[in-house]
């Protein structure tokens, strides 16, 4: 697990550098982005007792991955290496035990902690991961996929507003779910394969 954490932290650092080269010293409010993503997750899961709702678990799990992006970013401290951060993450999970929280309850606990601490709890995130029935392998596969999508967005005008998020009537996130189901995450070229598949679908926008 430690090596997976190191890999993901390194990818997140590179993504953040693409947005701002000196991101680590900008004091961005990662906790705020995290709790807002928690709200979006609940929206996809459903909370309206006054109408029929069916949880969209594919989108719920993508929101979990978005939360992980911001959460990892919040863990970076001054002069800390990815390995040091990963060691801290593993240490926090050393005696971890899932207590069976529901999706809404686990999400709200994480959001509440973000607001109170203005930080990110790896253990509370792990509760959410278990609540939505995602394994650490699922986390890694879907994180890599979403990280590649974020790079793809930046490469195609996300920052200046020229990026087109709807492809043939569906959001790029929905296309990503399909792509990840078709590719082998164990392949050494997994990241490159995801990017290539996104490029192929994006190039079809004019067709």
pLDDT of residue 206: 55
Asked if the model's pLDDT at residue 191 lies above 90, the reply is no
Contact in structure between 201 and 170 (CB atoms under 8 Å): no
Greatest CA separation for the chain:
53
Higher per-residue pLDDT: 168 or 117 = 117
pLDDT of residue 184: 86
Compute the distance between CA of residue 190 and CA of residue 98 in angstroms, rounded to an integer: 30
Q: How confident is the model at residue 207 (pLDDT cuts 50, 70, 90)?
A: very low
Per-position DSSP letters for 94-148, written without gaps between them: TT-------HHHHHHHHHHHHHHHSS--HHHHHHHHHHTT--HHHHHHHHHHHHH
Average pLDDT over the chain reads 91
Q: Where are the domains of the chain?
A: 1-134, 136-207
Q: What is the mean pLDDT of residues 83-104?
A: 93
Tens digits of residue pLDDT in 13-48: 998 998 888 888 888 999 999 999 999 999 999 999
Q: How confident is the model at residue 51 (pLDDT cuts 50, 70, 90)?
A: very high
Contact in structure between 16 and 23 (CB atoms under 8 Å): yes
Quote the DSSP letter at residue 170: E
Choosing among 3.40.50.2000, 3.30.43.10, 1.10.760.10, 1.10.4010.10, the CATH entry for 1-134 is 1.10.4010.10
In the chain, count H helices and then E strands: 9, 2
pTM: predicted TM-score of the whole model, two decimal places: 0.82
């Amino acid at each position: 697990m430690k090596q997976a954490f190191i890999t993901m932290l390194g990818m997140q650092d590179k993504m953040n550098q693409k947005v701002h080269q000196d991101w680590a010293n900008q004091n961005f409010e990662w906790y705020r982005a995290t709790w807002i993503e928690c709200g979006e997750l609940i929206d996809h899961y459903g909370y309206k007792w006054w109408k029929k709702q069916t949880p969209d678990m594919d989108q719920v799990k993508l929101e979990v991955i978005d939360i992980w992006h911001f959460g990892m970013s919040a863990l970076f401290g001054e002069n800390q290496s990815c390995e040091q951060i990963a060691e801290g993450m593993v240490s926090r999970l050393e005696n971890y035990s899932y207590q069976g929280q529901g999706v809404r309850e686990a999400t709200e606990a994480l959001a509440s902690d973000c607001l109170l601490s203005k930080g990110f709890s790896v253990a509370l995130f792990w509760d959410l991961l278990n609540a939505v029935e995602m394994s650490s392998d699922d986390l890694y596969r879907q994180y890599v996929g979403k990280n590649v999508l974020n790079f793809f967005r930046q490469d195609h005008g996300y920052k200046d507003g020229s990026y087109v998020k709807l492809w043939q009537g569906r959001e790029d996130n929905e296309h990503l779910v399909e792509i990840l189901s078709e590719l082998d995450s164990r392949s050494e070229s997994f990241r490159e394969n995801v990017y290539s598949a996104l490029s192929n679908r994006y190039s079809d926008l004019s067709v």
